C-alpha cells in the first residue's frame, strides 16, 4: 500500500528529481510534446463516493499512461468560502492521506499543495487581466454559487476559474480530467491559452479535456442533484471513511420511487438509476449486467446489495487512510517533496511568461 512504499524512500527522497532544468525558459509547444496531465481537488471535507468515482479513480489509472501527471491539493481555491485555519490545515493532510490511500503514488505523479508554488497566483493575475468581466459572470457555477450566497459572494468566487486556468497552463498541461460540470470552465482555460498565444506568440499548449467515463454521482436523498461534501443532509453523501453501518444506513434511506423492480432509466427513474450506476462503477460490471443480476430483487433488497459493494470497495482504502493519518510528518514530507518538484516545472514557465509580458 501507499504507506509502506513511501516509507522505504523517506530517508533519501530519491524520487525528487527535476523534470526540466531550472531556471531556464520553457520552450514553445511542439506538436509532439510530451503529454502532461494536471488536475486538482479542494481539501474541504473527506472525499466522497462521487469524488472517488468521478475523479480520483481515473487519476490513479492515468499514472500508468505515458507522460507526466500533476495532482494538486488546491488550497487557494478552498478559501473562496470562509475556512477555519486549524480545520483547513488538518483537511489538507487528511486529503493527502486519502489520495495516497486511493492509489496516488508520488513516485509516478507529482502530488503537491497549490499554495506552496507562488507562480500559480502570479500567472493567475496576468490571465485575470486578459479576461472580460461578463465572461466570468456568465459561468453557470458563479450564477449558482452567488445565488446561494446572495450578496455574500466574494470576488475570489467570481475569479477562481481564472486561477484554475493558471493551475493548468502553468505546467503547459496538455490534458485535464474533467467532469461534465467543469466543461464550461475548461473552455475558459482553452480560450485564455489561445488568447495569450495570439497576443504574445505561440507558447501555451491548448489543453484537451479528458471526460471521465462515470457521470455525476447523484445525491442519495435528491437524485436530481449531484453528491456533495457540503450537502446539509448527512444521509445524502457517502464518504470514503464512513463505517459499514453508516453506509448501509445511507443506502437504506436512498430516495427511489414506488416501482420495486430494478431498472436503469435515468430520465424516468433517477433514484434507482443512480444506484445502478454506482453499483456498476464500484464492481466494474456493465450497467446491463448489473441490472440482469438484480432481476427478481426489489429496490429495498437492492439498496443493501449496493451498500455491500461500496463497503467492499472502500474497506482497504479506509484502513489505509487511518494508518496514514497517524503519521503527520510523513504526509507533510510527501507534500513538501511534491511542491519542490512542481516548483521546478513552474518557475521557468512563469519566468518566460514575465519576459513575454514585459516584466523582465
Q: Which of these is catalytic: 218, 226, 250, 303?
A: 226
28 in Cβ contact with 38 (< 8 Å):
no
Distance CA 57, CA 304 (A): 23
In the chain, which residue ranges form alpha helices assigned H by DSSP?
Answer: 2-7, 49-51, 57-62, 75-78, 85-102, 119-128, 133-137, 140-149, 155-169, 183-200, 244-252, 270-283, 287-293, 299-325, 328-357
List residues bridging with 177 in a β-sheet.
210
Distance CA 67, CA 36 (A): 6
Closest by CA position to 277, among listed 241, 227, 327:
227
Q: Among this protein's residues, is 226 annotated catalytic? A: yes
Q: Among this protein's residues, is 145 annotated catalytic? A: yes
The Cβ of residue 259 has, within 10 Å, a number of other Cβ atoms equal to 13
User: Which CA distances in Å does 50 have to 25, 60, 116, 215?
Assistant: 39, 15, 27, 9
Close Cβ partners of 311 (under 8 Å, ≥ 6 residues apart): 244, 247, 248
| Secondary structure of 255-277 in HEC code, one letter for each residue | CCCCCCCCCCCCCCCHHHHHHHH
Closest by CA position to 161, among listed 148, 181, 173:
181
Q: Among this protein's residues, is 229 annotated catalytic? A: yes
Distance CA 237, CA 47 (A): 10
Q: Which of these is catalytic: 229, 323, 333, 354?
A: 229
Distance CA 276, CA 287 (A): 7
User: Which CA distances in Å does 310 have to 196, 242, 248, 250?
Assistant: 45, 10, 9, 11
- Residue 155: DSSP 8-state: H
Which residues carry out catalysis? 145, 226, 229
Amino acid at each position: 500500500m501507499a504507506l509502506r512504499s513511501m516509507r522505504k524512500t523517506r530517508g533519501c527522497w530519491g524520487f525528487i528529481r527535476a523534470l526540466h532544468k531550472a531556471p531556464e525558459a520553457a520552450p514553445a509547444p511542439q506538436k509532439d510534446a510530451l503529454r502532461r496531465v494536471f488536475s486538482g481537488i479542494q481539501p474541504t471535507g473527506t472525499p466522497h463516493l462521487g469524488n472517488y468515482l468521478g475523479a480520483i479513480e481515473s487519476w490513479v489509472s492515468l499514472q500508468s499512461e505515458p507522460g507526466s501527471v500533476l495532482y494538486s491539493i488546491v488550497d487557494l481555491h478552498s478559501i473562496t468560502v470562509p475556512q477555519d485555519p486549524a480545520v483547513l490545515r488538518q483537511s489538507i493532510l487528511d486529503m493527502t492521506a486519502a489520495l495516497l490511500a486511493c492509489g496516488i503514488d508520488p513516485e509516478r505523479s507529482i502530488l503537491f499543495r497549490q499554495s506552496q508554488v507562488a507562480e500559480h497566483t502570479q500567472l493567475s493575475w496576468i490571465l485575470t487581466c486578459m479576461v472580460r468581466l461578463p465572461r466570468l459572470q456568465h459561468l453557470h457555477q458563479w450564477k449558482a454559487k452567488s445565488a446561494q450566497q446572495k450578496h455574500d459572494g466574494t470576488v475570489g468566487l467570481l475569479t477562481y476559474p481564472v486561477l484554475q486556468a493558471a493551475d493548468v497552463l502553468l505546467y503547459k498541461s496538455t490534458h485535464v480530467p474533467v467532469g461534465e460540470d467543469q466543461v464550461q470552465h475548461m473552455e475558459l482555460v482553452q480560450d485564455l491559452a489561445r488568447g495569450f498565444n495570439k497576443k504574445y506568440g505561440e507558447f501555451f499548449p491548448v489543453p484537451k479535456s479528458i471526460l471521465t467515463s462515470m457521470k455525476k454521482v447523484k445525491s442519495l436523498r435528491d437524485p436530481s442533484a449531484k453528491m456533495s461534501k457540503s450537502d446539509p443532509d448527512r444521509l445524502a453523501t457517502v464518504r470514503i471513511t464512513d463505517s459499514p453501518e453508516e453506509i448501509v444506513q445511507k443506502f437504506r434511506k436512498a430516495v427511489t420511487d414506488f416501482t420495486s423492480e430494478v431498472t436503469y432509466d435515468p430520465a424516468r427513474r433517477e433514484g434507482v438509476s443512480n444506484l445502478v450506476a454506482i453499483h456498476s462503477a464500484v464492481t466494474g460490471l456493465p450497467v446491463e449486467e448489473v441490472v440482469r443480476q438484480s432481476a427478481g430483487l426489489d429496490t429495498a433488497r437492492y439498496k443493501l446489495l449496493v451498500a455491500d459493494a461500496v463497503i467492499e470497495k472502500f474497506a482497504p482504502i479506509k484502513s489505509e487512510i487511518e494508518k496514514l493519518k497517524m503519521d503527520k510528518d510523513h504526509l507533510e514530507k510527501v507534500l513538501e517533496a511534491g511542491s519542490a518538484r512542481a516548483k521546478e516545472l513552474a518557475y521557468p514557465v512563469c519566468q518566460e511568461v514575465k519576459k513575454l509580458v514585459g516584466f523582465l
